[in-house]
Amino acid sequence: MAKRALCIGINNYPGTHMDLAGCVNDANAWEAELKARGFEVTKLLDAQATKAAMAQAMQAVIGGAASGDVVVITYSGHGTYVPDQSGDEVDGLDEGLCPYDIQTGGGALLDDEIHQIFGARKGGVRLVLVSDSCHSGTVTRAAAPDPDADDVPRPRFLPMGNWLPADKLPRAASGKPAASVQAPAGTSPMAKAMSRRFGDLLLAGCKEGPNNFSYDARIAGKPAGAFTYYALKALKSLPENATYGQWHEAITPAFLPSASYPQIPQIVGSQDARHRKIFS
């Protein structure tokens, strides 16, 4: 059984005015943990994590895996949503991950695109996804805090208005580009791409639905995702044969939600997947 991982962390989003601080640290922390557990790790940080590079790295790590192998993909960065172009979304919006070049390149990496990448894998590949971002919100709730207050948690959500050109935004009743829209269900793009039939499992930093956020935080003087920090802290307290379900129970409610970080981490997958030994 081979173990392969891809860790993505993006703090810098040129042109959006909504940079983050803890995502690169998250990716480095996941890399260290996974390498210690025998994984071969590929990492994309900031400018390395363009939309094309993210898609290619996902294809490589998944496409190179054979039946019985374990693949872990971690993503720390902004989530977003865009007007649905294919007509397959009830709420009229597609969720997506935000690459480094979201405004200057090809836009968001959408759930439909991720689904296609994941669907090309070989049977029997065990896929574990860790998403420390959020995928629904409003312009008001996701507004940047005072830049001088670096201890204020920032939601990892990038509103459409911060990166989509005006001619691509939804229209208000007046016909002008809408400054905000009704927040969608907010399903992680990774959740849409995962397969319960193949035993995939998703650990997400927050609940689905409007105004549920994963927070960019500063803990013990260091920027980090609140979910990543506490997920790794909980993991170190568990016995060697602990399951994913036990890991999730160790994170919430012991650490999250908290007064500073009101987010509820989620675990998505079959009962068999939840009872599987972590990273095996």
pLDDT at 149: 38
Provide the 8-state DSSP code for 216.
Answer: E
Nearest Cα residue to 227 out of 7, 23, 12? 23
Closest listed residue to residue 86, CA positions, set 113, 59, 55: 113
Euclidean distance between CA atoms 91 and 136, whole angstroms: 12
Spatial separation of the C-alpha atoms in residues 58 and 125, rounded to whole Å = 14
Q: Which of 78, 98, 135, 206 is catalytic?
A: 78
Catalytic, 78? Answer: yes
At residue 125, the pLDDT reads 94
Q: What is the pLDDT of residues 178-231, one digit of tens each?
A: 545 555 556 778 887 787 777 899 999 998 877 788 999 999 899 999 999 999
Helix (H, G, I), strand (E, B) or coil at 219: strand
Active site residue 7: no
CATH node for 3-274: 3.40.50.1460
Catalytic residue, chosen from 7, 23, 98, 134, is 134
Q: What angle do the packed helices 51-63 and 111-119 form, to 10 degrees?
A: 20
Delimit the domains of the chain by residue range.
3-274
Helix spans in the chain (H): 23-36, 51-63, 111-119, 189-193, 226-236, 244-251, 271-274
pLDDT single digits (tens) 92-135: 578 899 999 999 888 999 988 998 999 899 999 999 999 999 87
Band (pLDDT 50/70/90 cuts) for residue 171 is low
pTM: 0.89
Instruction: Provide the pLDDT for residue 59.
Output: 97
